[in-house]
Amino acid sequence: MKKIVLSTMALAIAALTFAGNGEKNTYKVDNKLSNLEWTGKKVTGEHTGTIAVKEGSIVVENNMIKSGTIQFDMTTINCTDLEGEYKGKLEGHLKSDDFFSVEKHTASTLKIKSVKKIEGQDTYEVNGDLTIKGITHPTTFTAVIKMENNKLVAIGTVDVNRTKYDIKYGSGQFFEGLGDKMIYDDFTVKFKLGAKS
């Protein structure tokens, strides 16, 4: 079963909201304070793993996020539920052209376009563009965002339909007779993003 979550993707988003004293600030994403965990499922089970945040920045003006760009290092795709030979095989397959084509596309990117607070909650709706394998599609997700001591922290979950990014391996939408080898099209990314001004 091959699973991929990136999404993605998504993590980066976290850095979303608040600037101090109505000024325009840029928050730099700190990969040591950020993590991205993916889950991919197939008929008979699931795989989990991580992807590192490469770099990013969030622009905040008048206490609102105006823009942001976060890059994810696809060369760091890691499987956490397997060990030894099977772990290496899965990671290699995920990096191959069947999935993320990492040799050609070393990074995925999330560009934040707008952030809106959900009334009555500490949650924000984030809208942006997610690019995987050089293919870009709009994405929307929610994140809890907090600001502490010149730091932004965002925590949330993003669902990604891999087939939109030309990742069709094992998809029942494109191949028949897969049986228990079918891999579900959606993968999930849980993220925590930390950024400093």
pLDDT tens, position by position, 42-78: 999 999 999 999 999 998 887 777 889 999 999 999 9
pTM, two decimals, is 0.87
> What average pLDDT does the segment 162-191 reach?
96
Spatial neighbors of 45 by CB under 8 A, at least 6 apart, are 1
Domain positions in the chain: 11-196
In the predicted model, is pLDDT for residue 91 greater than 60?
Answer: yes
Task: Determine the pLDDT at residue 161.
Answer: 98
Please state, rounded to an integer, the average pLDDT across all residues of the chain. Answer: 89
From CA 86, how far away is CA 83, in angstroms rounded?
Answer: 6
From CA 135, how far away is CA 3, in angstroms rounded?
Answer: 19
The domain made up of 11-196 is a member of CATH 1.10.10.10: no
- pLDDT digits 0-9 by tens, 101-156: 999 999 999 999 999 999 888 799 999 999 999 999 999 999 998 877 788 999 99
What distances in angstroms separate CA 161 from CA 85, 137, 183, one per listed residue? 28, 10, 12
From CA 161, how far away is CA 159, in angstroms rounded?
Answer: 7
